[in-house]
Chain A
Amino acid sequence: MDYSEPPLPIIFNEVTKHVDLPQDDLTPSRAKEIQELNSLYRDLVALNADVPPPPNQINGRLNDQVRKLKDAGNASYKKGQYSDAVRMYSLAIEMALKRPPWEGSGFVREELSVLYSNRAQAHMYMSAWGDALVDADTAIYLKRNFAKAHYRKGKCMQHMGRLQEAKAAYELGLECGGTDGSDGELKSALAEVNELLYS
């Protein structure tokens, strides 16, 4: 659209506080864009400033809420109430995703990767290997050098009899540089899976 073209007949609805476009002017990309815009508008209205702060400024109140839910999950986990722990971690994930989208994605990845990795562990104690596998894999997607998540992924694969994939996961975990102290676990797990594979 050039400036010479007539503008789109966008309507701001005072009641719903949404913008809308009449059906005739709605292309798929416009429809998606309108939806994204309305959601971003809600985030901006909730913000206590006139424009988004720089990305490295993180909403502290949300931090606390996420941490509280995570701690509740950890507490349930220690008591052996694994399904409660899964529920708490899921709530924490939901809460963390309420962050406005302009906040630093590096921080978001870090925070969420721990939650997914913890939820993977709780799933593992319930022998929900499929769920645990996806959670561990998601934690790795969020933070590639997350050795503990590689270890958990490997364990899930091993329990489901996918030994080659387990081996690959342990090996990748060992390449992370041992930052979170999982190297010992990873090494013995790798030895174990090699034993199963080649003996």
Chain B
Amino acid sequence: MSENRMILQSSPHARDRESVRKVMYTVTLALLPAVIAGTVFFGLRALLVMALSVVACLIFEGIAMKVSGKPVKETLLDGSAVITGLLVAMNLPSGLPLWMVVVGALVAIVLGKHVYGGLGNNPFNPALVARVFLLISFPTAMTAWPVPYGTDGVTAATPLGVLQMEGAAVALQSIPYYNLLIGNVGGCLGETSAIALLLGGIILLVRKVISWEIPVTFIATVLVFTTITWLVAPDKHINPLWHVLSGGVMLGAWFMATDMVTSPVSRKGMLLFGVGCGFFTCIIRLWAGYPEGVSFAILIMNGLVPLIDRYLAPTRFGARQATQGAKA
């Protein structure tokens, strides 16, 4: 038997001492502010949803690895299932029936990841696949948003829901910026606190787990797009700052769109990816049936990543001169 010395793999070929495990635990650390904010505003029930989602993801990951005949223990310890579990929970309302949380975890791990061949092969962000699956399957339960500090069963509309139902003037008046910033509003348990998510995003940037391109272009595109609509029709559309602080933009831009597996590898590609996420978010928010479009926008752009990577691949060393020569 000849030893196989030729390594065949797809890009990126960058080598680093960073292991999957280290990256994953940094992400967990970066999510901590938002976890705390969610627990403060939505109580122990939010913590229960997060814990259950993480445990369920770990169990399904273990089963999926075992079924596909891969090493179970190593993958369980690398933390990717923990992150997926946490991100799934962050995208759910805290009052969701617990069995639906488990269904979400199952969808994320099996349908979002392992049917494509496991970590690194999934074209779509697993946590968002789970969120959209649940949103389409259980529309009532998935849009029953508990009130912050509220008692069980009391629900209210999200800021974006208020915006869609009651219009810009009511939304501006009833929801102060301060509440949007700290997260004292209705919404998914991990998406409401803009400041906690921003803090997490900075941790990711400083630790170089993510680069600036996707989150910055994502948020900037939302800002530019909603500035234009706001200037054109200020009484109909709400101002850009309100758009960026509300809904899932912060969670999506820092934690969901930047997922290494499902975003482009080149810098140009990342810029385009971020712009696309912001663009589709605004289109859905302003003109579609759903009040919020971050998860759909990111999933749409996930689907375009192979194309983006193909057409915006960095020029091969030495290739530029040849093409210029050919054109001249």
Partners in one complex: no
Residues of chain A touching chain B, judged by Cβ–Cβ distance below 8 Å, are: none
